[in-house]
Amino acid sequence: MPRIRHLGPLALVLDVAPGSAGRTAAALRSLPLPPGAEVVPGASSVTVRYEQRDETAIVRSLLVQAIDAPPVDTTVRCHELTVRYDGADLDHVAAAVGLGVDEVVRRHHSVTYTVDFMGFAPGFAYLIGLDPVLALARRATPRPAVPAGSVAIASRFSAVYPAESPGGWHLIGRCETALFELERDPPALLGPGDQVRFVPS
């Protein structure tokens, strides 16, 4: 049986395999959730928040159904983001993985990424598809301020910081595309399931 646990009195969390949260969340949204329920995918979990205690059994049943549900047919949005590969940590990343800088850049931009889930900050998309050779642990000491547009990697993810914020990821480049604008509908450029290609400038 899948592991389902409570997160307070009005939320259940389903643990899923890394990389499958987006698919499971899409399957859940296609099921008859209680009115007002919210589905929130994470790195290896999907949380459902609901409004009434007596809806717990219903939500639990739907979580179980979503695990084996067939893929939801949705339109995949594809984005190309231009990157200048001159990040502050690029040389360190190359040394840490035993590759030249040019090879690090090639490996980073030669794959298609998928938005697994959103989090940390408005518009911040966790992108899966990173070459495993580039998978490094977060920096031992986070920076108090990472510039907006910074292209970064950490663990099995890549991302672009949508706004200046603290951060502990390795910075390898810069992207000028605005990932979050309040006047845009929706404000976030990227969303779960979207595909992303990085194009060197």
Question: What is the per-residue pLDDT for 73?
Answer: 60
For residue 78, what pLDDT is reported? Answer: 94
Look at the alpha carbons of 159, 163, 165, 171 in this order and tell me if their dihedral is positive or negative: positive
Quote the CA–CA distance of 67 and 163 in Å, as a whole number: 34
pLDDT at 105: 98
Looking at residue 191, its pLDDT comes to 87
Domain with CATH 2.40.100.10 in the chain: 78-200
Q: How confident is the model at residue 171 (pLDDT cuts 50, 70, 90)?
A: very high
| pLDDT tens-digit series, residues 30-82 | 899 999 999 988 888 899 999 999 999 999 999 998 887 776 666 678 999 99
As a CATH number, domain 4-67 is 3.30.1360.40
According to CATH, the superfamily of the domain at 78-200 is Cyclophilin-like (2.40.100.10)
Task: Give pLDDT, residue 19.
Answer: 75
> In the chain, which residues fall in CATH 3.30.1360.40?
4-67
Instruction: Tell me the mean pLDDT in the region 120-141.
Output: 94
The predicted model gives 80-85 an average pLDDT of 98
In this prediction, residue 1 carries a pLDDT of: 61
pTM above 0.85, yes or no: no
User: What is the end-to-end Cα distance of the chain in Å, rounded?
Assistant: 48
Average pLDDT (138-145) is 95
pLDDT digits (tens, 9 = 90+) for 6-24: 999 999 999 988 778 888 8
> Which amino acid, residue 153?
I
